[in-house]
């Protein structure tokens, strides 16, 4: 299980950070070679946190041959540090949850006319989530799961899941970033990041999840949220006025992993709803929490425009032109001067 080790890098300029912080960019300094994490493809129905080691040297057993962000094969050429050639600069943040790497990156490449994307993994990505380094990016795209549960064995032989907290530096940097104003787009399992220790982070997104242990969200303790893999769903567009859903018509059909989580309907602007209704709600949600079928929304968090899209577990939605259009629209909107102005005009205080 991946653990969040304190980053060993000191704060530096973006040019210096690129030497070690952006996992898709490996720069040789003399004999120094920085290893990169390799993640195995995810199982189709399980939102499991990654069990892979934190780093693997490129070319070592278990490394992904030539995979973007996964190093290079034995003697093979390095992949480019980023994809696309569009004007919008996107920092893609992953780790803490397994995923189908090449299929996900292929989806991002399909947006190459609009975006140029760079990939970074935790914990290195933590050092890029601050106002200074944010100047190099228009949007942060989160497909991560910060603070995943780590299963440990106690002295009596029983096992328990422990959730590491975010570092004080990350908390301070992210707060400053959100207050300054930056486009933020969160996909699928990113809503489960830091759910046990950082309520402000969940408020920025507009909801929280944990599928493996009881979790208290907004004062209500749920027994453990639900995930439902390979679920046939119809997604309905509920606000056609938003540019985020432009071109989607009335909605679309998808086979993907659905959730029953703690969504904050009172704090977001709904965009999408699923027709899926779980049959085991009593086992997944506290009776005090009403099930929400929200599948996408936008909101203002401090001075930052935020989009969350629940759909996106694996290649099934990623290969849909409608889903790619949705993610592309979300990125373009979050990066736009209009979205930043809207967020500031509709400022929502997260940190009291």
Question: Residue 62: which CATH number?
Answer: 3.40.50.880
Is 58 in a helix, a strand, or coil? coil
Closest C-alpha to 236, from 276, 285, 290? 276
* CA angle centred on 1, ends 225 and 122, rounded to 5°: 90
**Average model confidence (pLDDT) for the chain?**
83
Q: 321-335 and 337-345 are packed helices; what angle lies between their axes, rounded to 10 degrees?
A: 70
pTM: 0.81
Q: What pLDDT sits at residue 294? A: 98
Rounded to an integer, the average pLDDT of 262-281 is: 97
In a domain, 248, yes or no: yes
Query: pLDDT digits over 92-103, tens only?
Result: 999 999 999 999
What share of the chain has pLDDT > 90, as a percent?
A: 76
In a domain, 351, yes or no: no
Q: What pLDDT sits at residue 21? A: 39
258 or 38, greater pLDDT: 258
Rounded to an integer, the average pLDDT of 180-202 is: 98
Q: What pLDDT sits at residue 69? A: 56
Q: What pLDDT sits at residue 175? A: 98
**CB contact at 8 A, 256 and 311:** yes
Q: Rounded distance, CA 14 to CA 19, Å?
A: 9
Token couple for 236: 């309905």
Closest C-alpha to 283, from 207, 213, 222, 220? 222
pLDDT at 49 exceeding the cut of 80? no
The domain of 312 spans 14-345
**CB contact at 8 A, 270 and 294:** yes
Q: What pLDDT sits at residue 53? A: 31
In a domain, 1, yes or no: no
In a domain, 137, yes or no: yes
Rounded to an integer, the average pLDDT of 62-78 is: 37
In a domain, 250, yes or no: yes
Cα 111 → chain centroid: 18
Say which residue the tokens 């893609």 belong to: 92
In a domain, 162, yes or no: yes
Q: Rounded distance, CA 214 to CA 206, Å?
A: 19
Q: Rounded distance, CA 275 to CA 203, Å?
A: 25
Query: pLDDT digits over 80-94, tens only?
Result: 457 999 999 999 999
Q: Quickly state the pLDDT bin for 39 (edges 50, 70, 90).
A: very low
Domain total of the chain: 1
In a domain, 5, yes or no: no
Token couple for 308: 């969350």
Q: Rounded distance, CA 298 to CA 241, Å?
A: 12
**CB contact at 8 A, 317 and 256:** yes
In a domain, 155, yes or no: yes
Q: What pLDDT sits at residue 20? A: 40
Token couple for 170: 């990350």
Cα 299 → chain centroid: 16
What share of the chain has pLDDT > 70, as a percent?
A: 77
Of 24-28, 78-82, 101-105, 277-281, the range with the lowest mean pLDDT is 24-28
Rounded to an integer, the average pLDDT of 214-230 is: 98
Query: pLDDT digits over 151-182, tens only?
Result: 999 999 999 999 999 999 999 999 999 999 99
Residue 298: φ, ψ to 5°:
-135, 160
Rounded to an integer, the average pLDDT of 50-72 is: 33
Cα 209 → chain centroid: 13
pLDDT at 15 exceeding the cut of 90? no
């Amino acid at each position: 299980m991946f653990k969040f080790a304190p980053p060993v890098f000191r704060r530096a300029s973006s040019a210096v950070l690129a030497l070690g912080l952006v996992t898709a960019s490996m720069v040789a300094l003399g004999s120094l070679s920085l290893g990169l994490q390799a993640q195995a493809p995810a199982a189709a129905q399980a939102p499991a946190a990654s069990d892979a080691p934190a780093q693997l040297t490129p070319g070592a057993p278990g490394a992904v041959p030539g995979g973007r962000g996964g190093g290079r094969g034995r003697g093979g050429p390095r992949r480019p540090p980023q994809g696309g050639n569009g004007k919008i600069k996107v920092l893609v943040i992953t780790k803490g949850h397994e995923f189908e790497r090449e299929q996900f990156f292929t989806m991002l490449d399909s947006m190459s006319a609009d975006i140029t994307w760079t990939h970074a993994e935790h914990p290195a990505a933590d050092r890029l989530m601050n106002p200074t380094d944010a100047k190099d990016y228009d949007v942060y795209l989160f497909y991560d799961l910060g603070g995943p549960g780590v299963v440990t064995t106690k002295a009596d032989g029983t096992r328990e899941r422990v959730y590491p907290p975010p570092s004080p530096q990350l908390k301070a940097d992210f707060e400053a970033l959100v207050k300054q104003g930056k486009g933020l787009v969160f996909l699928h399992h990113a809503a489960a990041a830091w759910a046990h220790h950082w309520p402000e982070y969940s408020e920025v997104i507009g909801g929280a999840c944990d599928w493996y242990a009881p979790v208290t969200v907004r004062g209500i303790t749920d027994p453990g949220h639900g995930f439902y893999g390979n679920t046939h769903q119809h997604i309905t567009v509920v606000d056609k006025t938003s540019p985020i859903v432009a071109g989607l018509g009335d909605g679309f059909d998808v086979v993907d992993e659905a959730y029953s989580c703690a969504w904050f309907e009172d704090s977001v602007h709904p965009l999408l709803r699923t027709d899926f209704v779980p049959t085991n709600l009593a086992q997944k949600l506290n009776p005090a929490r009403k099930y929400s079928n929200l599948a996408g929304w936008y909101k203002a968090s401090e001075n930052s425009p935020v989009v969350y899209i629940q759909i996106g577990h694996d290649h099934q939605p990623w290969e849909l032109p409608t889903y790619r259009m949705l993610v592309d629209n979300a990125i373009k909107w979050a990066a736009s001067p209009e979205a930043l102005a809207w967020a500031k005009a509709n400022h929502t205080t997260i940190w009291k």
